[in-house]
Amino acid sequence: MSDKNDIQRMRELEEVVEYHSRKYYVDNAPEISDFEFDALLRELQELEAQHPDEANPNSPTKRVGSDITNSFKSVEHRSPMLSLANTYSSEELGEWIDRITREIGEVEFVAELKFDGTAISLTYEDGALLRAVTRGDGRRGDDVTDNVRTITSIPLRLSGEGYPQHFEIRGEIYMPYASFDRLNAEREAAGEPLLANPRNAAAGTLKQQSSQVVARRGLDCTLYHIAGDSLPSDTHYGNLMAARGWGFPVSNHIKVCHSRKEIEEFIAYWDTERKSLPYATDGIVIKVNSYTHQRSLGTTAKAPRWAVAYKFQAERALTRLLSVDFQVGRTGAITPVANLDPVQLAGTVVKRASIHNAQQIAAIDIRLGDMVYVEKGGEIIPKITEVEFSERPDDSKSFEYITHCPECGTELIRVEGEAKHYCPNSAGCKPQIIGRIAHFVSRKAMDIEGLGGETIELLWENGMLHDIADIYSLDPIQLASLPRLGEKSAANIIEGIRRSKDVAFERVLFALGIRFVGETTAKYLAGHFLSLDAIAEATTEELAEAEEVGAKIAVAITEYFSDEHNRNIIERLRSAGLRFEADERVLQSEVLKGKNVVISGKFSGRSRDDMKALVEAHGGKCLAAVSANVDFIIAGENMGPAKLQKAEKLGITILNEEQFMTLIADVNTEHNTATTAAKSTEHETAATPIQGRLF
């Protein structure tokens, strides 16, 4: 591959990996399996190693992921919570062992299960639980102590003796299969969306506002790493055994190994036996036992060098493909769903599986009657990954993809560059209409209780609901007259509708169901443009310049607002009194009012999010890329050479962290833009010279 292609691929991978990383860490709704994600991440890492000058300082390879939400106090970890390097084969594992042996000589290893949950750090003082903090972005996490206290296996007070006065112990909070199945059964009965897997269920539960809810969900915990002074042993194993004596839940499935062979035996044993465990595991973690050796091996920015994860291949099952249904989503996207001969897979019976699109059907040449392999990734519905050609019936016929919508008969279209087929009849195709309304009323959008999928369908069938705006003219008497509803439910729905008028603008924006505008993008858009009118009036270029938006989303937003049907709905929602503007921000100053700022590189004292918040608190806006519209750049360490070159070419001012802080600090005391500009210029001569003009 030429350098040019490599670099193009790097940019593409940055976007894709960042997207899936957000889906996993922030939204708790992964769309691809860990295996697929790691493959993408590795490809990017390898390209970055080959072209270090082109590596983006903000590449997703540089971060450990983030799960911070606003509702919990953010706490800094005493030492960063690292991730683990992954290996997928015996060869890779062998290379890791060889590296350690070369560096240290013969060492003892400890092999243990890799629990598939969410990481937690517990701090104990004088034998009592002081604090529980999530991993967050590795540097800071959320204080979830109240929720963690409800997990019965976590000791609130330690027993035994010999524990340090103050220490931190880390581990994994997970949801056993039994709790997960019970929770999903309850959600299904209540018409709520199902949770994709026990890992997401555990992470989501830990962030619940009410610790009572957490207590009911049946979480469990295992602890696998202990840090602090005055520990009883200099080995990992010794300290874990001591921790068990103090009352901590430490797994029984741990083994001290002295050779590669012993480690491989442990892996082979658990690759099969894990299927009978009551909780999910996704690999084996191998650690160097001695703390002295661990210290001399040290860590990289992301992971310790003294530990590695061996990831299991996803479980798969072989079964027959009976038929294929085509489902129409709320955006009109067609998803083929396979009906299978029921088969047991990773603890559940699988009857349906997704085959993502026509391309995939052609790529793996699926035919009805074929024996196919199904795998569970991060999604609720497993997917078909491969055909067992040796078992193909002689009379099998190639599979024809549909050309018309199975619901409304409209001819399907395929947008260039996209894999999926779409039904373009958005205003007249039933599942699209119902899906859009269901999305609009869902918990993370307008949160209108009582309006589940069935009720929406009922209202639609009775001609009372054609689009989302109709919700605001629903009449309680008419509602109560519908079968299965009654006065009380009708009153609840009307009350829910009334309350939804207070829902914040960013959620209204998400509720509209604009393609690709998920919860996070809606938040960024609302923060950047501050009103629906500003978004509707922005050009595609202006939209694409906003942080976290990008060209594809910008085009979708422009398309949405250029559609007359959508504009009509917007006007009706406006008359209903929905919030179309962001809350007034209390600004610390207006010195950056009207200024577009790009934040680039890494900062010593603050995270990029902190820097962004500062820019916005002083009235400025953050843009994603350097362009002629940018007023100045705040550059940290490792600003990308391409960005720097572009900034120089355009004559854009570049401030370092200190200069920027001086600028806003001066404003805080002087409240005078003119003075500030003068002061910042004075400052320039002392520090790195500022290029171009700021104001």
Which residue's CB comes closest to ligand IVH? 119
Q: Which two tokens stand for residue 527?
A: 């923060």
Report which residue type is found at 648. Answer: E
Q: In angstroms, rounded to a whole number, what is the distance separating the alpha carbons of residues 58 and 524?
A: 18
Q: Closer to ligand IVH by CB, 122 or 578: give it.
A: 122
Q: In angstroms, rounded to a whole number, what is the distance separating the alpha carbons of residues 103 and 294?
A: 11
Restricting to residues 319-358, name those near ligand IVH by CB under 6 A: none
Looking at the DSSP assignment, which residues form a beta bridge with residue 652?
Answer: none
Least gap, CB of 544 to ligand IVH (angstroms): 34
Please, which residues have CB within 8 angstroms of residue 243's CB and are 6 or more apart in sequence? Answer: 169, 223, 226, 250
Strands (E), 294-396: 307-311, 316-328, 334-345, 348-354, 371-375, 383-387
Q: Which residues of 482-515 are buried (b: 16+ CB within 10 A; e: fewer)?
A: beebeeebbebbbebbeebeebebbbbbbbbbbb
112 binding ligand IVH? (CB under 6 A): yes
Restricting to residues 163-202, name those near ligand IVH by CB under 6 A: 172
Q: Closer to ligand IVH by CB, 105 or 298: give it.
A: 298
Q: Closer to ligand IVH by CB, 30 or 304: give it.
A: 304
Q: Closer to ligand IVH by CB, 84 or 538: give it.
A: 84
Restricting to residues 70-109, name those near ligand IVH by CB under 6 A: 82-84
SS3 content of the chain, % helix, strand, coil (to 5): 40, 20, 40
Q: In angstroms, rounded to a whole number, what is the distance separating the alpha carbons of residues 127 and 243?
A: 12
Least gap, CB of 118 to ligand IVH (angstroms): 7
Looking at the DSSP assignment, which residues form a beta bridge with residue 336?
Answer: 326
Least gap, CB of 397 to ligand IVH (angstroms): 44
Q: Which of 119, 118, 138, 129 is nearest to 76 (CA)?
A: 138
Q: In angstroms, rounded to a whole number, what is the distance separating the alpha carbons of residues 433 and 9?
A: 37
Binding test (CB under 6 A) with ligand IVH, winner from 72, 109, 224, 505: 224
Task: Catalogue the active-site residues.
Answer: 114
Least gap, CB of 1 to ligand IVH (angstroms): 29
Q: Closer to ligand IVH by CB, 221 or 423: give it.
A: 221
Q: What is the 3-class SS of 487-555, one letter each residue?
A: HHHHHHHHHHHHHHCCCCHHHHHHHCCCCCCCHHHHHHHHHHHCEHHHHHHCCHHHHHHECCCHHHHHH
Least gap, CB of 120 to ligand IVH (angstroms): 8
621 binding ligand IVH? (CB under 6 A): no
115 binding ligand IVH? (CB under 6 A): yes
Q: Closer to ligand IVH by CB, 171 or 640: give it.
A: 171
Q: Closer to ligand IVH by CB, 224 or 660: give it.
A: 224
Using CA atoms of 315, 320, 323, 326 in order, give the dihedral in degrees to the nearest 10. 10
Least gap, CB of 398 to ligand IVH (angstroms): 41
Least gap, CB of 119 to ligand IVH (angstroms): 3
543 binding ligand IVH? (CB under 6 A): no
Q: Closer to ligand IVH by CB, 84 or 570: give it.
A: 84
Restricting to residues 252-291, name those near ligand IVH by CB under 6 A: 285
Binding test (CB under 6 A) with ligand IVH, winner from 20, 199, 217, 225: 225
Least gap, CB of 84 to ligand IVH (angstroms): 4
* Pattern 294-313, ligand IVH, x by CB under 6 A: ----------x--x-x----
| Choices 112-120, 201-209, 324-332, 514-522 (CB under 6 A): range interacting with ligand IVH | 112-120
Cβ neighbours of 595 (radius 10 Å): 16
Strands ordered across the beta sheet of 653-656: 621-623, 596-600, 632-635, 653-656
Question: Which of the 8 DSSP states describes residue 196?
Answer: S
Q: In angstroms, rounded to a whole number, what is the distance separating the alpha carbons of residues 121 and 127?
A: 15
Q: In angstroms, rounded to a whole number, what is the distance separating the alpha carbons of residues 259 and 609?
A: 45
| Choices 113-121, 211-219, 289-297, 393-401 (CB under 6 A): range interacting with ligand IVH | 113-121
114 binding ligand IVH? (CB under 6 A): yes
Where along the sequence are the contacts to ligand IVH (CB under 6 A)? 82-84, 112, 114-115, 119, 172, 224-225, 285, 304, 307, 309
